[in-house]
Amino acid sequence: MDLFCLPDDPAAPTPACPYVCIERWDGGPFRSYAVRKGRAGLVPVSLRNTPGAEVAADALYSENLYPTPQAELEPFLQTWLFFGLVAEVLGLNETAPGMRLVDEETARTEIAELYEVVLVRDGQDGDAQDEGSNSSRSKYITGAVLLQEAAGELFHQRLNLAPDRMARLVDMCDSLRYAVVMLHSIQENVRDAVRHSIVALGEMLTTGLFMAASLSRPPTPLPTVIGLNWFRDYVRAGGAVEAGMLARGWCPSEVDKVRAQFQGAFTMHYASRLRRRAIGQGDDSPSSGYDHGGCSVHACKAFQMDVDTYKPSHAREGCGCEHIEVREADIVRVLRETDSFPVLRLTRGDGDERDGDGDGDEQGQLRLSVEPWTPGVPYVAFSHVWADGLGNPRLNSLPRCQVERISHLVARLEHDVRSSSSSATTTDSTPTTDPSSSTSSANTQPYRIWIDTFCCPIELGGKLLALQRIADVYRQATHVLVLDKALAAFPSVDVHPAELLLRTIGASPWMRRLWTLQEGALAQSLFVQFADRAVDFVALLQDLFAIACTDARYMRIWQDVMSEFNQLQSLSPKRNSAGAVLFNKTPSDLVHLQRALHFRTVSVAADEPLCIATLMGLDTRRVAEPASHQDRMVRVWEQLARLPGVDNGDGNVAQGIPVRLLFFLEEPLDVPGWRWAPRTLLGSSVRDPVLGIDERVVRFVREDGPDALGTPTPLGLRVRLRGCRLVPRPRAPGLPLDPWPELVRKYEDQVLLQRDDGSGSSNDGNNSGRDSSDAGGGGGARWVRIMDWYRSRKIGSWTREQRLEHDTRVGHPLQRAIATGRCAIVYDPQSSPLGPEVRTCCLLQADEMDDAELAAMSSLTTTTDATDANMSSTNTDTTAGDDAGASSPRPLKARRERAVIMSPLSDAEARMMDVLQGLADKAAADPATRELLALGPPPPPPPPPPPPQSPAGEKQKGKDDDKSPVKLGDGGEGKGEGEGEGEGEDKGQESPWKAASTRVRDLLKKLVADALVQHPEVVQTARDYIGPDIDEYLWVLIPKVLSHATVMREVPEGQVWYVD
């Protein structure tokens, strides 16, 4: 679809959108089109009460179950959501039945003209044929006419015809929102070309409407415009756009970054068409030089380096020049004897200052002199990717050719900036782009150089000193210059700023490395080195904005790129009016930190806490003292918890860690007292990730209220949360919690819990006398289910074999936790994105604190309060001493086990479970159950016979003797849940255990069969919620999920937990 904008030399064309309409747009009210055409069943539930487009209650929504065929669906959607949407914003539709902005004849004429200018044949301009034409030539849609200035003028003319301009804008916003929800509700039978043409049109109109409102004077507030997610599923996992990007050399994690990072389909489309190979290079030669064959969607391995084998590379292939080395003692001397940091002065052998425009051999040998930086001396700090070969982990040296290259780049940058500044000062006195030019002395001095390879000592003591001052290096730099060979392979002159910005933000290794994050965030002036010159990043943003003001497609790209730039800036410390750096980070800044770190990678894990400390203004020296990554992260979390907080509104300032971290946690630290804290904030460093960027970010969102933050203590994170204790009860006195452990093959997809209704009927431990018919009358306690978060998130991506392996390996972790009798659940205070009644919870093992622990916590808190004047009200009014007070529930110390998802059963499901629970009580009390238990576990299965051997003694070809757990059973799939009959016994003789187990199965089957006769509504519920053929196998639910009762007993209001 030609509405999408493209780079000048795109890596792939944009597919043309075929014209598939069967009938033309009728010019009626936009939102009621489906009702007018008798297709109200297509409208999703969320749109059915739209004023003026209400859908009758008896119009069932069945698109998910019975999708409309493509031959019917595509023409309908194209007529409605493409041509109807264009007509809507041009004021050609009825605003209400019988009401128009233009007369009906004008509307009819212009709609006909719209088809004439939007249709082309075989991709060529030409007049559209009549609907009844039998031409064999294909017809396609073009959006070129919509990009013309005349279309924008017509939009404004029609807008001015509305009696209420604001109401008209809001009405168009509502139509756009309706269209995007309608489009995303259709998941099948729409080709990408047709879908994406609607996406392109909708996003362009949405952005254009936003521009018209925000750029008007005075601006018109239109909050409903923001957040229309036309981009959703554009780079769909497994879709054509993703496949094309991977085929053109993108890393899977880069594709995921584009998918998560940008919120514009125009941005995603433009980025997907960027060439990954520079002009003139072979088709098989990626410009980055990286092989992504071993990468995953979570991590890029291509530019990870091995410190043990790493060697600096030469600037030119085949070069074998010697190294130039800086004496480490000179670097260390500056760091130890001054409060500054070293910079390098480049001179030639004849003593002249560096002249990067000349050749090194002609002008003498390059020499590097170390000097301490003093204010007013200009210098360029390099930000580079070590995988490109500019690092050296063993010596402060680089090949001479690289030093020559660095010298040339700095000289060219200095020349360009000062020439630009001089020209600006001469012509219009505009502010210079050179921060160093505020003094005349700075203007006459050549730029010094700072690059970590030369300016950071190798020995540990000196390195730690350098790391403590690394933030000052990039904050004070005249310019920070980005060196990334994936960017330096492409020219910048006469290249669209959108392409240069998206290459940098969306497709460069520089944006993926951890250390380069702080280097870009701290820069006052950021330049990016391309093949022909260094380009000012802020100037690129300004250039793109100027273009976007006249072309809404680029405005969407500018918004995405600007969002990423603002993300960088949010991590940069602010300055006061005197220019002093202010470290005023708060817990809210953790949101920006997590978003910025998610897609970053680091080769040395222990560097992550150092980088976080620099970005968040923490005590870098204290963080760097321990050598291990875990111990450093403990010190990071320790300091993050004491960041200056925000006023609660009562004059007290809250400090601490957002409590939602407990519910969205992967791979915590393995340090007592800190096992609630993430080991890493880098998505790429998690070995088996299940959290996406949204979940990682939301856990740090600062919520209101005194209980929104937790406090680290030696016993764990101190939080005040609602929750419950889980009390397991056997089905009958004297029975174990699971009286039928081997009756069926079980896998733990869910565990059912009952809320304690206070009547005692649900938790008295003996419900065997309760009649099942009474239980099914609707008077039972409310039921909820919990599911393991990890399994729920992973199961969609697992193969059957992977799922079986997981279920066999982990067994029943939720039931094991509950069986301890110490199990508890705390509730996420915020609603889950999965739905208003779905909660993310944390499963714990909890015990009451003893008096000694309470006293220790009280003593610790008193000491802390006495030495820290900034402790929050949350910390001072809920101390451990207060916890022990008579008016407060006794605190609980808890060990975190896992996150779970909790959701209520529907009323119909609850009634079904009441019936089945009554049957479970009867079966547990029956002698057949005790007879089975008396026999103990079933006999082990006999060993498999040895495989046939070939005459040579080798195993027969094609046979597999793998005894992997994957091959054990079917995990309960299918009918009967894998009853397991015949295991561990001679085929010709029935064992006592088998006979007893058969009697219990027969008992359960009869109980369920009889109950279904009494409760036909249970039959329908089972079919609705489980499957159409479940009647015969419903008995399996009793040993699978109702072997015992588990009651949820709510903890008192204000319960304090120490979670480790």
For residues 652-663, one letter each, b for 16 or more C-beta atoms within 10 angstroms of the residue's C-beta and e for the rest, the string is bbbbbbbbbbbb
Q: Cβ(999)–Cβ(931) under 8 Å?
A: yes
Residues 6+ apart with CB under 8 A from 311: 389
Structure tokens at 751: 């565990």
Could you tell me if 892 and 849 are in contact, meaning their C-beta atoms sit under 8 angstroms apart? yes
Which residues in 632-763 belong to E strands, given as ranges? 646-647, 653-654, 657-658, 709-713, 716-720, 723-729, 751-755
Alpha carbons 118 and 139: distance in angstroms, whole number: 10
Buried-state track 297-309, b at ≥16 Cβ within 10 A, e below 16: bbbbbbbbbeeee
Inter-residue long-range contacts of 645-651, CB under 8 Å, 24+ positions, other chains counted: 645/586, 645/587, 645/709, 645/872, 646/586, 646/587, 646/588, 646/702, 648/704, 648/705, 648/706, 648/872, 648/873, 650/873
Instruction: Quote the CA–CA distance of 483 and 418 in Å, as a whole number.
Output: 21
- Rounded to 10 degrees, the C-alpha dihedral 513/515/518/524 comes to -90
Q: Helix, strand, coil shares of the chain as percentages rounded to 5?
A: 40, 15, 45
Position 882: which residue type?
D
Q: Residue 815: CA atoms inside 13 Å, Cβ hemisphere, count? A: 23
CA dihedral 955, 959, 964, 966 (to 10 degrees): 180
Please write down the HEC assignment for all residues of 927-993: HHHHHHHHCCCCCCCCCCCCCCECCCCCECCCCCCCCCHHHCCCCCCCHHHCCCCCCCCCCCCCCHH
Report the run of H or E that residue 301 belongs to, with start and end: none
CA distance 783 to 921: 17
Q: What is the pTM of this model?
A: 0.79
Q: What stretch of H or E contains 71?
A: helix 70-77
* Number of residues written out for the chain: 1060
Residue with tokens 């791979």: 667
Angle, alpha carbons 802-807-808 (nearest 5°): 100
* Each residue's pLDDT tens digit, 691-720: 888 888 888 887 777 788 899 999 999 999
Q: Nearest 5°: phi and psi at 748?
A: -95, 85
Q: Please tell me whether residue 60 adopts helix, strand or coil conformation.
A: coil
Q: Which helix (H) or strand (E) holds 748?
A: none
The answer to whether 750 and 1041 are in contact (CB under 8 A) is: yes
Alpha carbon distance 408, 449 (integer Å):
12
Full strand arrangement of the beta sheet holding 119-121:
17-18, 139-141, 119-121
Between the alpha carbon of residue 615 and those of residues 286, 481, 850, the distances in Å are 33, 19, 40
**384, 484 contact by CB (below 8 A):** yes
Give Cα 784 distance to the centre of its chain: 28
Three-state secondary-structure class, residue 350: coil
Q: What is the CA radius of gyration of the chain?
A: 34
pLDDT for the residue numbered 650: 54
> What are the strands, taking DSSP E only, across 230-340?
323-325
Amino acid at 685: S
* 335 vs 43: CA distance, rounded Å: 68
Spatial separation of the C-alpha atoms in residues 540 and 517, rounded to whole Å: 19
What is the Cα–Cα distance from 663 to 696, expressed in whole angstroms?
10
Instruction: Report DSSP state, residue 625.
Output: S
**Residue 152 is encoded by which pair of tokens?**
């924008």
Taking each helix axis from N to C terminus, what angle separates 537-548 and 552-570, rounded to the nearest 10 degrees?
150
Provide the pLDDT for residue 468: 86
How much is the pLDDT for 758? 58
Q: What is the DSSP string of 187-247?
A: -SS--HHHHHHHHHHHHHHHHHHHHHHHSSSSPPP-GGGTT--TTTTTT-TTSHHHHHHHH
Distances in Å between the Cα of 1045 and the Cα atoms of 19, 77, 193, 496, 919 are 60, 51, 54, 66, 13
> Which residues of the chain fall below pLDDT 50?
123-136, 225, 279-288, 355-363, 425-433, 436-442, 760-781, 833-834, 862-881, 886, 950-987
Integer angstrom CA distances of residue 790 from 298, 667, 690:
16, 12, 7
Residue 555 contacts residue 211 (beta carbons within 8 Å)? yes
Question: Rounded to an integer, what distance in angstroms lies between the CA atom of residue 612 and that of residue 640?
Answer: 10
Model pLDDT, residue 360: 39
Question: In angstroms, how far is the first alpha carbon of the chain from the final one?
Answer: 54
Beta strand 839-848 pairing with 823-827: antiparallel
CA distance to 620, 678, 826, per residue, from 587 (Å): 18, 15, 22
The CA distances from residue 992 to 472, 986, 987, in Å, are: 79, 12, 13
Helices (H), 273-399: 328-337, 360-363
**Strand pairing partners for 379?**
448
- What's the CA gap between 946 and 955, in Å, rounded? 10
β pairing state of 397-399 and 17-18 = unpaired
The whole-number pLDDT of residue 46 equals 85
CA distance 820 to 845: 8
Residues 820 and 872 sit within 8 Å (Cβ to Cβ): no
User: Which of 373, 324, 64 is closest to 189 using CA atoms?
Assistant: 64
- Residue 951 buriedness (CB in 10 A; 0-12 / 13-18 / 19+): exposed
Q: What residue type is 779 in one-letter code?
A: G
DSSP 8-state secondary structure symbol assigned to residue 1043: S
Q: Give pLDDT tens digits for 810-850.
A: 999 999 999 999 999 999 887 554 455 788 899 999 999 88
* C-alpha to C-alpha distances, 959 to 817, 944, 956, 970, 996, nearest whole angstrom: 40, 13, 6, 20, 36
